[in-house]
């Protein structure tokens, strides 16, 4: 360390205070060797102080160039404090998204502070969920096609068989062929519903979101004339946007319909409440793309909440929490929202369930 006093001049006890920090702190000498790391750094890098000490900083990451360049800039302009968001890659692990602050300390070397970038973590998670949901939908669609093809044959063969039944046992044996035909028809309907969202063309026009909400409101009130109170909380300044109005009506209707089903006890008691709330959101990232302005639509009910058993999976096809449910309502809603470049999220606890739809606005 060319005669520089280095961090050795600091007593270990004084460094120990850095262990109390939530940020990861690394001390690095001017040659790039790590001389000390606090507890948060050990945790973040999943390594012990002993293992970190005497390692070269650039050996920690596969893409350390940016970080190293920050270090040499900080050293060149002593006392400078350089900040940058980095994605540090380590073999066989997820990249570390950190906000890094590099400061030079006299001749002693560098203090590197790494703070985990929670926003980035959240985006990564959302991206994974989005990819996962697309993979799932493709799987279901392919499977539906595979089931659909032989179904016609099975049904046709059962009909032919029915014609050939010996008259003596006709009524008795027809029961069996009828089961085959009815079940084939039931599967056919299911498969058609699975394939439906991808069938109808996406028809784009100018959409006023409040017209969509009002349509759903009147449909819901027609179906539940007593005991369901639908409150509107609209932001009238929301501009029209390009979209498929029928798809959006179907989306909001599916969500509102689920809410009304969950609210059956409250509807009977007369204190069921559904709220349609619209707002604008600014600077949001939807499905990996950043938008200056977005529609923020909430459909909120005061029902019992989504069962914890299925909460993480409600958008998956065929996941249903009720007797006789198809488990397709929310899948369809999500598909339509995604076709509008938007996202759909849900927050739920007993007494409060909020489905939130975010769509880009012009």
Ligand X SMILES: Nc1ncnc2c1ncn2[C@@H]1O[C@H](COP(=O)(O)OP(=O)(O)O)[C@@H](O)[C@H]1O
| Minimal distance, residue 273 CB to ligand X, in Å | 12
Interhelix angle 209-223/245-262, rounded to 10 degrees, is: 40
Decide which of Mg ion, ligand X, none touches 322; Cβ closer than 5 to 8 Å per partner kind.
ligand X
Question: Binding Mg ion by CB under 5 A: which of 35, 117, 247, 258?
Answer: 258
Residue number with CB closer to ligand X (45 or 260): 260
* Residue 144, CB-side half-sphere exposure with 13 Å CA sphere: 19
- Segment interacting with Mg ion, rule: CB under 5 A, options 3-11, 123-131, 191-199, 250-258: 250-258
Query: Are residues 295 and 250 in contact, defined by beta-carbon separation less than 8 angstroms?
Result: no
When the beta carbons of 88 and 314 are compared against ligand X, the nearer one is 314
The set of residues, in sequence order, having a beta carbon less than 8 Å from that of 47 and lying 6+ positions away, is: none
Which helix (DSSP H) or strand (DSSP E) does residue 167 occupy? none
Describe the crossing of helices 329-339 and 245-262 by its angle, rounded to 10 degrees: 150
> Alpha helix locations (H) across the chain?
12-16, 39-45, 49-52, 65-76, 118-164, 170-195, 209-223, 245-262, 264-269, 329-339
In the complex, the smallest distance separating the C-beta of residue 128 from Mg ion, rounded to whole angstroms, is 25
Sites for ligand X among residues 288-317 (CB under 6 A): 301, 303, 305-307, 314
CB 274 within 8 A of CB 298: no
Query: Quick check: 190 binds ligand X (CB under 6 A)?
Result: no
Of 122 and 322, the one with the shorter C-beta distance to ligand X is 322
Site for ligand X in 221-260 (CB under 6 A): 254, 258-259
Q: Which is nearer to ligand X, 208 or 229 (CB)?
A: 229
**Cβ proximity to Mg ion, 86 vs 249, nearer residue:** 249
CB 343 within 8 A of CB 337: yes
Asked whether the beta carbons of 356 and 345 are under 8 A apart, the reply is yes
Among the listed residues 32, 109, 303, 329, the single contact to Mg ion using CB under 5 A: 329
Distance in Å, CB of 221 to ligand X, minimum? 17
Cα distances (angstroms) measured from residue 273 to each of 209, 259, 262, 270, 321: 20, 9, 11, 9, 21
| Whole-Å CA distances, 346 to 114, 232, 253 | 32, 19, 16
Q: Which residues, numbered 148-167, are part of the site for Mg ion (CB under 5 A)?
A: none
Question: Which listed option, Mg ion, ligand X, none, makes contact with residue 23 (CB within 5 to 8 Å by class)?
Answer: none
Footprint of ligand X on 314-353 (CB under 6 A): 314, 319-322, 325-331, 353
Residue 181 vs 230, nearer CB to Mg ion:
230
Name which of Mg ion, ligand X, none residue 302 binds, using a CB cut-off of 5 to 8 Å depending on partner kind.
none
SS3 content of the chain, % helix, strand, coil (to 5): 45, 25, 25
* Smallest distance, ligand X to C-beta of residue 286, A: 21
Residue 301 contact among Mg ion, ligand X, none, beta carbon within 5 to 8 Å by kind: ligand X
Report the C-alpha gap between 204 and 351 in whole angstroms. Answer: 36
Q: How far is the CB of 196 from ligand X (least distance, A)?
A: 14
For ligand X, the closer CB: 34 or 260: 260
Stretch in the footprint of Mg ion (CB under 5 A) among 22-30, 159-167, 240-248, 257-265: 257-265
- The Cα-based distances of 57 to 8, 31, 45, 88 in angstroms read 18, 9, 12, 12
Interface ranges with ligand X (CB under 6 A): 254, 258-259, 262, 301, 303, 305-307, 314, 319-322, 325-331, 353
Interface ranges with Mg ion (CB under 5 A): 258, 329
């Amino acid at each position: 360390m060319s005669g520089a006093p280095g961090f050795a001049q600091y007593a270990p006890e004084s460094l120990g205070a850095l262990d109390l920090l939530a940020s990861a702190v690394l001390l690095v000498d001017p040659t790039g060797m790590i001389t000390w790391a606090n507890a948060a750094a050990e945790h973040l890098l999943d390594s012990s102080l002993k293992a970190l000490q005497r390692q070269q900083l650039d050996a920690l990451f596969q893409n350390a160039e940016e970080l190293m360049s920050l270090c040499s800039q900080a050293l060149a302009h002593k006392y400078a404090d350089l900040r940058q968001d980095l994605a540090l890659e380590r073999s066989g692990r997820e990249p570390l998204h950190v906000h890094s602050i590099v400061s030079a300390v006299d001749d002693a070397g560098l203090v590197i502070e790494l703070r985990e970038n929670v926003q980035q973590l959240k985006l990564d998670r959302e991206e994974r969920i989005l990819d996962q949901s697309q993979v799932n939908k493709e799987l279901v669609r392919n499977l539906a096609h595979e089931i659909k093809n032989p179904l016609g044959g099975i049904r046709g063969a059962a009909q032919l068989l029915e014609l050939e039944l010996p008259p003596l046992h006709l009524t008795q044996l027809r029961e069996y062929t009828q089961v085959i035909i009815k079940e084939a028809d039931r599967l056919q309907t299911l498969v058609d519903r699975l394939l439906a969202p991808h069938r109808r063309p996406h028809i784009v026009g100018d959409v006023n979101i409040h017209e969509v909400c009002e349509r759903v409101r009147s449909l819901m009130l027609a179906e539940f004339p007593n005991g369901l109170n639908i409150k509107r909380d609209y932001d009238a300044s929301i501009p029209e946007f390009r979209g498929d109005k029928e798809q959006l009506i179907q989306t909001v209707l599916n969500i509102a319909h689920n809410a009304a089903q969950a609210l059956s006890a409250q509807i009977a008691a007369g204190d069921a409440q559904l709220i349609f709330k619209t707002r604008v959101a600014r600077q949001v990232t939807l499905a990996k793309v950043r938008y200056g302005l977005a529609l923020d639509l909430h459909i909120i009910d005061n029902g019992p909440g989504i069962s914890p058993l299925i909460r993480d999976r409600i958008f998956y096809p065929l996941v249903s929490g009720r007797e006789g449910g198809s488990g397709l309502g929310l899948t369809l809603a999500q598909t339509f929202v995604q076709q509008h470049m938007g996202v759909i999220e849900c927050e739920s606890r007993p007494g409060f369930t909020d489905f939130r739809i975010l769509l880009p606005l012009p």
